[in-house]
């Protein structure tokens, strides 16, 4: 009988242990947004599809704008005590956390596999969230990045001129963990972004928090300051922040409101020699200091100091992405969020 | 021992039978696209994040454009003999096939649940595929739809003036199956689209077919003519077409190349009284007739004729969405594509 029970246990365990994911529920929704009215414009005739039939298009009317797309996965064997919201960085989408540019499972799969219910979203105006008329709704010009821009700015390549279309000729940071042979795939993940839409983005993230939290927010880069600000607006609902190289901070004057929200920040390699990251990191630490003064708990992990080297700004894509995810997972467990 | 084997069988069967999805592998990638060079433009300074540090942005250089996003799911217990590629319609993304606007599982979940490996994509310039500079790369203006436009055009509402923000005041087609209480959610799925990017879209779909096929393509609306054309370009790789209200057709002169590709087209309700759909459907049938003349096999299902009534153009979202999916699933099984 004991052997029988042991076998049954192995078989049941095998459901999730086949290297795959046992998903109890998956789906998506849009959240937030508002209506925007256009008037006084002439009616157009549009042929939507070659071989179709012409349709009249009256541009006057009410438009849906500034909503946000969210895809979610609920694992069958949940181990996280709260849902995990994953917020990407600027010029990107939730694809950041999916398959890495060299084809390995990304942090989305990692955290689902660890038993977290994950909500992975595309910020307002990016990806499946859609975007609104510019300059009528979104002010200013959208920003497009050249293929070499993130290579230099995200601490993958060793400074100006380090990019080359041929991976064999790229000048990488010494010891870089970025899978540079997949850099071309990474550039395909990029989407245009505005620099004037912060308020709309924050409003939609807040609507998401109001819908699915209490929760933990895992955010990267530009998602970091959004996470700080939304947590400050909803300190009762955002129970922890795990921030990967946050590119900014929250409202300094009310930092203390986060005194009951444990905060982890993770920084990669090559920060000191970068022209921008020492300033950015310093600003974040100044904000965290204010949280600390109010009695808040935060931890700053500089990966090289714990022996994890070679990480770029896109550490969820680096060759040791699972090792970095493990640092976050361990911290979440230490905070008591893992069953 | 017999009882033991029976119990083990039940336990193993239970892995997939918990109402969830047992996923062997999931992930995403971008496919296709090309490089586009910009020169002679002045350097800009951009503050990417408030609280960050200013970055120089040289707009001159090489850009990645016209790639396509694809998300895939491989079920643990595969029953489809080929992967199923799901292509959405105009002004939308792969979200079309995800959770319905009233919160039920969509066709993505349905077909994964039936054991199909599914590749769900966002066409070039939509959703997570990103979009390129306009008018430099994408010619003409992007098209935005008002909230009431699809309500009238997609045979949800009963003609002009049928839309109302209050679902209780919407004038629906008699017997409509569209979950109108979720119409607002549906409008949030919309994304801007160009009418000048067909060639780029077809190129990326063709690149996807070259990467993951032989396969079956399930396409909706504007995705229909794309599916016809890509199948004509790769008749050896696209083994069947399941087209839901295709909004156009393929290259008439070479229709016969599809003689070995079984084709299903499904049309919903209210076609005859619509101002555009009789023409569109007639064009598609004319094309299918050419395929038939070459010995090709096709089936046209008008849902009302088989007793399935009330379906809008967005039948994958209608209340009887699973019933309509079942029509496609049954046809695929009849063609021998289900184990």
Residue B144's nearest CA partner among A196, A238, A44 is A44
**Please, which residues 48-87 of chain B have a Cβ atom closer than 8 Å to chain A?**
48-53, 55, 57-64, 67, 69, 71, 76
Q: Cα separation of B92 and B90, whole Å? A: 5
Q: How does pLDDT run across B301-334, given as a tens digit for each residue?
A: 999 999 999 999 999 999 999 999 999 999 999 9
Residue with tokens 């700004």: A313
> Across the interface, which of A49, A98, A109 has its CB nearest the CB of B248?
A49
Q: Is residue B48 scored above 80 in pLDDT? A: no
Residue B205's nearest CA partner among B86, B97, B114, B308 is B86
Cis peptide before A17 (omega within 30 of 0): no
Q: Cα separation of A146 and B267, whole Å? A: 44
Q: Cα separation of B272 and B293, whole Å? A: 26
CATH of the domain spanning B23-334:
3.40.50.1820
**In chain A, domain spans:** 25-31+66-334
Over residues B115-129, mean pLDDT: 98
Q: How does pLDDT run across A93-114, given as a tens digit for each residue?
A: 999 999 999 999 999 999 999 9
Q: How does pLDDT run across A44-72, given as a tens digit for each residue?
A: 888 776 667 788 888 899 999 999 999 99
Q: Assess B283–A contact: CB distance below 8 Å, yes or no.
A: yes
**Please, which residues 238-277 of chain A have a Cβ atom closer than 8 Å to chain B?**
247-249, 276
> Which residues in chain A are closer than 8 Å to B29, comparing Cβ atoms?
99, 103, 185
Q: How does pLDDT run across A141-155, given as a tens digit for each residue?
A: 899 999 999 999 999
Instruction: Report the chain A residue with the minimal C-alpha distance to residue B23.
Output: A21
pLDDT at A46: 81
Please say whether the dihedral angle defined by the alpha carbons of residues B156, B162, B165 and B170, taken in this order, is positive or negative. negative
CATH class (in words) of the domain with range A25-31+66-334: alpha beta
Q: Is residue B119 scored above 70 in pLDDT? A: yes
Q: Assess B102–A contact: CB distance below 8 Å, yes or no.
A: no
Q: How does pLDDT run across A209-227, given as a tens digit for each residue?
A: 999 999 999 999 999 999 9
Query: CB of B330 within 8 A of CB of B297?
Result: no
Q: How does pLDDT run across B235-257, given as a tens digit for each residue?
A: 999 999 999 999 999 999 999 99
Interface with chain A: mutation pick from B109, B130, B185, highest number of A CBs within 10 Å? B130
- Report how far apart, in Å, the C-alpha atoms of A241 and of each of A147, A280, A292, B172 are: 31, 18, 14, 45
CA dihedral B249, B29, A24, A244 (to 10 degrees): -140
Q: How does pLDDT run across A173-201, given as a tens digit for each residue?
A: 999 999 999 999 999 999 999 999 999 99
According to DSSP, residue A71 is labeled E
At B200 the three-state DSSP class reads helix
> Across the interface, which of A7, A20, A248 has its CB nearest the CB of B49?
A248
Tokens for B274, please give them.
Answer: 């619509």
> Which residues in chain B are closer than 8 Å to A245, comparing Cβ atoms?
none
pLDDT at A9: 44
Interface with chain B: mutation pick from A188, A194, A202, highest number of B CBs within 10 Å? A188
pLDDT at A16: 42
Q: Assess A222–B contact: CB distance below 8 Å, yes or no.
A: yes
Q: Which residues of A244-274 are buried (b: 16+ CB within 10 A; e: fewer)?
A: bbbbbbbeeeebebbeebbbbbbbbbbbeeb
Q: Cα separation of B67 and B276, whole Å? A: 32
Q: Assess A127–B contact: CB distance below 8 Å, yes or no.
A: yes
């Amino acid at each position: 009988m004991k052997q029988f029970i042991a076998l049954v246990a192995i078989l049941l365990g095998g459901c999730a242990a086949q290297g795959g994911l046992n998903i109890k529920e998956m789906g998506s929704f849009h959240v937030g947004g508002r209506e925007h009215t256009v008037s006084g414009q002439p009616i157009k005739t549009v042929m939507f599809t070659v071989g179709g039939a012409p349709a009249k298009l009256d541009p006057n009317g009410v438009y849906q704008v500034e909503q946000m797309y969210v895809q979610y996965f609920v694992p069958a064997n949940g181990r996280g005590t709260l849902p995990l919201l994953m917020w990407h960085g600027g010029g990107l989408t939730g694809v950041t956390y999916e398959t890495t540019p060299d084809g390995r499972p990304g942090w989305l799969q990692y955290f689902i596999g660890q038993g977290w219910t994950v909500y992975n979203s595309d910020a307002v105006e990016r990806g499946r969230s859609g975007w609104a008329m510019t300059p009528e709704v979104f002010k200013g010009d959208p920003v497009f990045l050249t293929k070499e821009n993130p290579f230099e700015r995200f601490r993958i390549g060793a400074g100006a001129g380090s990019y080359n279309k041929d991976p064999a000729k790229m000048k990488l940071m010494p010891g870089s963990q970025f899978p540079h042979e997949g850099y071309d795939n990474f550039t395909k993940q990029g989407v245009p972004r505005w620099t004037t839409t912060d308020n709309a983005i924050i409003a939609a993230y807040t609507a998401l928090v109001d819908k699915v939290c209490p929760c933990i927010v895992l955010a990267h880069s530009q998602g970091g300051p959004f996470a700080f600000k939304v947590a400050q607006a909803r300190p009762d609902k955002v129970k922890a922040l795990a921030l990967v190289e946050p590119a900014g901070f929250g409202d300094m004057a009310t930092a203390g409101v986060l005194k009951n929200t444990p905060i982890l920040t993770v920084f990669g390699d090559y920060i000191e020699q970068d022209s921008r990251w020492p300033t950015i990191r310093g600003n974040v630490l100044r904000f965290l200091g204010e949280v600390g003064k109010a009695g808040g708990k935060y931890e700053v992990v500089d990966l090289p100091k714990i022996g994890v080297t070679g990480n770029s700004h896109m550490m969820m894509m680096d060759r040791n992405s699972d090792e970095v995810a493990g640092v976050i997972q361990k911290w979440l467990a230490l905070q008591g969020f893992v069953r």
